Amino acid sequence: MTFFVLFQAIFLGVVEGVTEFLPISSTGHLIIAGQLIGFEGSTANVFEVVIQLGAILAICVLYARKLLGVAFGLTSDPAARHFALAVIIAFIPSAVLGLLLHDFIKMLFSPMIVCVSLVLGGIAILLIEKWKPETRVVDVENLTPLTSFQIGLFQCLAMVPGVSRSGATILGAVMLGVERKTAAEFSFFLAIPTMLGATALDLWKARDLLNLDDSAVIAVGFIAAFISAIFVVRWLVEFVSHHGFAIFGWYRIIFGTLLAGFFMWTA
């Protein structure tokens, strides 16, 4: 592995870890970052899929006590069963649509679609922050099956590159009356089955591209994504509890506009 390839792996791993749980679109940033540093092709496709597992591992580590408590309490604790049911119900819409539309979704992966999604998503964040409804849910265990399903429908919007899975679920939950911190944490928990399922499907589709020669590059990216996600998740929960999401809306609008100008200029 050359120094430049090592740099690419670390850089893209950090991009994944930093952006996966922020409402700014990790997929969009990876598409653009990969093009800018020339990391493309079959290796890049597999790499971008696998390093998502590093971000998921960060959630499992940070919330290990909560997740283990739910797992061991399923047979005896009503709150644990309610939590698990809420995540499963929210997961169903994206699981069904992801299986049905997988190949079509992959056709949407282009820089200009990402740019437009970033800008429109940023405007949506600012509007939601300005006119968000009264908070009715302050704990994941208080989510009703209907609210969970509706959050799952919002997550489906993230199938368009640049929308942001975390952004769609968090802001969708806020629109449904869920408190910001609770919305962010539920988005983290929902990411576990969603991203594991999406990664498994992508790896199966790309099984002919898997190559042991690329394992070192993928491992470096995985570790970089894991470490950076640990720090971002801890920071995000504290930040949104006090400051909201408006800063991410402005970031998306500015970043998406600048990128659209860049790609049109270099076309």
Q: Is the pLDDT of residue 215 over 90?
A: no
Percent over 70 (pLDDT), the chain? 95
What is the reported pLDDT for 42?
Answer: 62
Say if CB 17 and CB 229 are below 8 A apart. yes
Q: How far apart are CA 223 and CA 102, in angstroms?
A: 27
Q: 58: pLDDT confidence band, cut at 50, 70 and 90?
A: very high
- pTM, entire model: 0.88
Q: How far apart are CA 216 and CA 74, in angstroms?
A: 38
- CB atoms under 10 Å from CB of 170, counted, come to 33
What is the reported pLDDT for 19?
Answer: 93
Q: How far apart are CA 49 and CA 213, in angstroms?
A: 16
Assign 147 to helix, strand or coil. helix
Q: How far apart are CA 29 and CA 51, in angstroms?
A: 14
Q: How far apart are CA 197 and CA 59, in angstroms?
A: 16
The mean pLDDT of 235-240, rounded to a whole number, is 90
Q: How far apart are CA 105 and CA 108, in angstroms?
A: 5
Q: How far apart are CA 257 and CA 117, in angstroms?
A: 10
Lowest mean pLDDT across 52-56, 135-139, 151-155, 261-265: 261-265
How does pLDDT run across 107-143, given as a tens digit for each residue? Answer: 777 788 889 999 999 999 999 988 888 888 888 888 9
What is the reported pLDDT for 27?
Answer: 78
What is the reported pLDDT for 64?
Answer: 95
Q: Is the pLDDT of residue 40 over 90?
A: no
